[in-house]
Amino acid sequence: MLRLLFFMLIVRPVVLVVLGLNVRHRERLPSRGPAIIAANHNSHLDTMVLMTLFPWGVLRRVRPVAAGDYFLRNRLIAWFALRIIGIIPIDRSGSTPRERLLDDVVAALQNGEIVIIFPEGTRGEPERLQRFKSGLYHLCARVPEVPVVPVFLHGLGKALPRGEALLVPFFCDVFVGEPLPWCEERDAFMQALAGRMQALAAEGHFAEWE
Amino acid sequence: MNVSVHPNVMLAIGGILGILVVASVVVWALRRARPGADLGELSSRVRSWWVMVAVFTVALLLNRAVSLAFFCLVSFLAFKEYLSLIPTRRADRRVLFWAYLAIPVQYVWIGYRWYGMFIIWIPVYAFLFLPLRMVLIGRTEGFLRAAGTIHWGLMTTVFSISHVAFLLVLPRSEAGAGVGGPALVLYLVFLTQFNDVAQYIWGKLLGRHRAVPTVSPGKTIEGLLGGLATTVLLAWLLAPLLSPLNTLESLSAGVLIGLAGFIGDVVVSALKRDLGVKDSGSLLPGHGGILDRLDSLTYTAPLFFHYVKYMHY
C-alpha cells in the first residue's frame, strides 16, 4: 500500500513531469513474469524509470536487484529499499558462497516476478557504457527459459549522476530491445547482450554532454 | 468554472471544436475512401489536436492561477526539451538548475501584473546572472557557447512564450467588444496555429517555389502567401468578437501573425537542422515535440502582444 502511494504520488510525477520519457518499442516489455530486464546503469533514477514503465497491476511484481552493502547500510535506507522499492539485495562482500549468491533472485523468478538487473554492476561514469559483468549469465544458466529483455537508458545520468544530490530535469530515452536468446557459451552470451545494447544505443540521437 | 468567461470566448471555443470535428470527419472519410492509404500520422496529428485543445480550454477557463500554472508548465516543458536537444556541459548542471528556477519566477511577475519586472527578468537579470554562476564554476572551455545557448533557450521558450500569459492578465479594453485577456489569448493562439495549418494546406495544393530551401525544403512561397491571406481574413473576421482591434488594426495583426508565424517556424527548423534532428521531441504524437508546436508562437506572441499593448493599453 505504502509502496503504491509512493509510486503514485512521488515517482510517477517526478519521472513523467519533471523528467519526461521518450519510450521506444514499449510493446516489447513483458506484461507478466517471470522475466529479466537488463538495463545499463547511470543513476538512482534508472530503477524508478524502469518501474514506471509497468502498469499498476504488474508493478508490485517488479523487483530490482541491488547491492546489499549499499542499500542495507542503515535501517532507514534498508526499510525504504526493501519495503517501498522492493529490492532483492545481493551480497557483494564475498561472504556468501558463490553458488548461493543468486538464490533470492532465482526464487523471485520462480515465483513469476519481473526482475530488474543492471549487468554493469554499478552506476559508474554517467552516460558511459561499461563492460557487463557475467552475473547475468550465471543467473540465466539457472533459469534458461526466462526471457531477458535488454533496455537502453539515456539521459538519467545527466539528470542525476552518481555523487550528485541535485536533480536537473532532462528528457530521457528508454529503448526496449528484443528478448535475448539463451546461449550456454558465456562469452557469446555476454557479447550478444553487449551487441543488443549497442544497437539500441545507435537508434538514438544524443546531444553531446562533456 | 470561471463565471466571468465572456460569451464571445465560449463562442470562439465552440468554433474551434467545430473545426476539430470537421478535421476528424475528413480523416474518417479519407480512411473509408482509401482503405489502404497510410493515414497514421494524420490521424494521430488530429488526435493530438483534440488533446491540446481540451487541455488548453480547461486551463484557460478554470481560473487565472490555473492558466498561469499551465503556461508555466508549457515553458518548462519547452525549455527542458530544448536543453535535452542541445549540447550542454556537465559542469553547468547547477547553472541549468538556476535557469529552470527563472521560469516560475517569470510567471509570478505576470501573476502580479508587474510589467516592468516581467519585461526585464530574463533579458536583464537572468542574462547577467547565469554567466556569473558559470564563472564561479570556473570552466572556460565552451563558455561562450554554453552561455549563449542557455540564454537563447530562455528567451525563446520562457520570455517569448510568457507573453501569451501576460496577454491573459490584460484588463478589459475600452474599445471593440470590450473583452479581456482570455479572448486575446484565444485570438493569438488560434490565428498562429491555424496559420500553420493553412500554410501547410496551401503549400500542398499549390506549392511550387521553395521559400527557404536550405532550412526547410517543404516550405513554399505559395504556402506562405496562401496562409497569410487566410490568416488576414480570419484576423479581420474574429477581431470584433475577441479583440479591441478595428478593421485596419486587425488586418495588420493578421499580416503580423502570418509572417511572424512563418519566421518562428523556420527559425526552429534551422535549429533542428543544425542539431541533426527531424523532430524536437516525441511529446505530441503526429506533431513531434512541444517545440515543434510552439515554434511559430515564439515569434507571434511577443510581436502581437506589443502591438496590442501599444495600440490599446
Task: Report angle CA B130, B132, B136 to the nearest 5 degrees.
Answer: 115
Own/partner long-range contacts of A182-185 (Cβ < 8 Å, ≥24 apart): A182/A140, A182/A144, A182/A145, A182/A148, A184/A141
Specify whether the CB–CB gap between B262 and B125 falls below 8 A: no
pLDDT tens string B187-217: 999 999 999 999 999 999 998 999 999 999 8
Mean pLDDT across B307-313: 92
Give how far Cα B182 sits from Cα of A163, B4, B49, B104, B235, Å: 46, 11, 20, 20, 16
Cβ contacts of A98 within 8 Å, gap of 6 or more: none
- Which chain A residues touch B97 with a CB distance below 8 Å? 166, 168
The model's pLDDT over A61-113, given as tens digits with 9 standing for 90+, comes to 999 999 888 899 899 999 999 999 999 998 877 788 878 888 999 999 999 99
Q: What local confidence, expressed as pLDDT, does residue B176 receive?
A: 65
Give, in order, the Cα–Cα distances in Å from B130 to each of B99, B107, B139.
7, 19, 13
pLDDT value at B251 more than 70: yes
Q: Which residue in chain B is spatially nearest to A205 when comparing CA positions?
A: B277
- Planar angle of CA A10, B279, B306, nearest 5 degrees: 85
> Mean pLDDT over residues B3-24, rounded?
89
Cell of A43: 543513476
* pLDDT, averaged across chain B: 93
Predicted confidence at residue B1, as pLDDT, reads: 46
Pick the closest to residue A135 from A113, A106, A177, A175 (CA basis): A106
Q: Where are the alpha helices (DSSP H) in A80-183?
A: 103-110, 135-142, 156-159
Is the pLDDT at B5 greater than 80? The verdict is no
Q: Taken in order B181, B182, B185, B186, is the CA torsion positive or negative?
A: negative
Angle between helices B181-206 and B297-312 (to 10 degrees): 130
Query: Residue B124 above 80 pLDDT?
Result: yes
- Grid coordinates representing B167 are 496577454
pLDDT of B150-195, one tens digit each?
Answer: 999 999 999 999 999 999 999 887 766 667 889 999 999 999 999 9
Instruction: Report phi then psi at B230, rounded to 5.
Output: -60, -45
In Å, how far are A39, A70, A78, B43, B313 from A103, measured between CA atoms? 21, 19, 19, 50, 74
Q: Chain B within 8 Å of A166 (Cβ-Cβ)?
A: yes
ipTM rounded to 2 decimals: 0.90
With H, G, I as helix, E, B as strand and everything else as coil, classify residue B121: helix
Whether residue A13 has pLDDT greater than 80: yes
| Average pLDDT for A124-153 | 88
Q: Which residue of B has its CA nearest to A23?
A: B282
- Taking CB atoms and an 8 Å cutoff, what residues of chain A touch B93? 164, 166, 168
In percent, how much of chain B has pLDDT > 90?
Answer: 81
Answer for the pair B287, B71: CB distance below 8 angstroms, yes or no: no
Of B86, B97, B276, the CB nearest to A168: B97
Average pLDDT, chain A: 90
Nearest-Cα distance to chain A for B130, in Å, is 15
